[in-house]
Structure 1
Amino acid sequence: MTKATETFSLIGAFLLSWALVNFNFITLPISQKFLEEVWPTFPWVALVSFGAYSLANIGWALITFRDCPEAHQELMVEIQQAKADLRAKKVQIDN
């Protein structure tokens, strides 16, 4: 099972169990006030938590991203080769 399949299976199981309890197909030994006021907000809390985790993960990846001087040098050499090839074919390019 791929990671995406596993993730979507977990999300589906969470939403199914939430819907079964929310629409009273399954009863839980919890106060009615909790089921009416708090339980309906669980998907939104999960969505906001996922968004916060995603932003934090992207931010951390940007902070810890290392420079790659070797890759930069290699890319510059390839650009010079491409320019020389285009000039050999009489294509006018900007410097």
Structure 2
Amino acid sequence: MTRATETFATLGIATVIYIALFFGALPLPEVIQDKIIPVLPWWALMSFGSYSLGYLGYHVMTFSDCPDAYTELMGEIQQAKTELRSKGVSV
């Protein structure tokens, strides 16, 4: 089973369980049914967004500089400019 299939299967099962809880097919205390279940998708969305933002921020903060890649890229840019100038393109 591929990773996408596993993800869609998990999301499908979670959706079916949520719909069963939302419409009262599975018995729950009234407080949970009325106060928690309706906001559960928003809580999940906010949790996922917070996790994603934290993950991205941490990895941007700890990203190390790559001086070798910088010099290589600048050399390739100069080479491209030289080739374009030799063909008559103004850069």
Given the two structures, how large is their TM-score scaled by the length of structure 2? 0.88
Structure 2 match to 1:18: 18
The Cα of 1:12 is off from its aligned counterpart by 2.1
State the percentage of identical aligned residues: 44
Partners of 2:58 and 2:5 in 1: CA distance: 26
- Cα deviation digits, residues 32-85 of structure 1 (max 9, x gap): 122111111111111110010010011011011111111100001101111111
Structure 1 match to 2:75: 77
Task: Name the amino acid aligned to 2:30.
Answer: Q
5+ unaligned residues in a row in structure 1: which ranges?
A: none
Q: Going by fraction, where is helix more abundant, 1 or 2?
A: 2
Partners of 1:64 and 1:14 in 2: CA distance: 34
How many residues are aligned here?
91
5+ unaligned residues in a row in structure 2: which ranges?
A: none
Partners of 1:54 and 1:16 in 2: CA distance: 25
Structure 2 match to 1:51: 49
Compared CA separation, residues 65 and 4, structure 1 to 2 (3 A): farther
RMSD of Structure 2 on Structure 1 (CA): 1.4
Which 10-residue stretch deviates more, 5-14 or 77-86?
A: 5-14
Task: Name the amino acid aligned to 1:6.
Answer: E
Given the two structures, how large is their TM-score scaled by the length of structure 1? 0.85
Structure 2 match to 1:9: 9
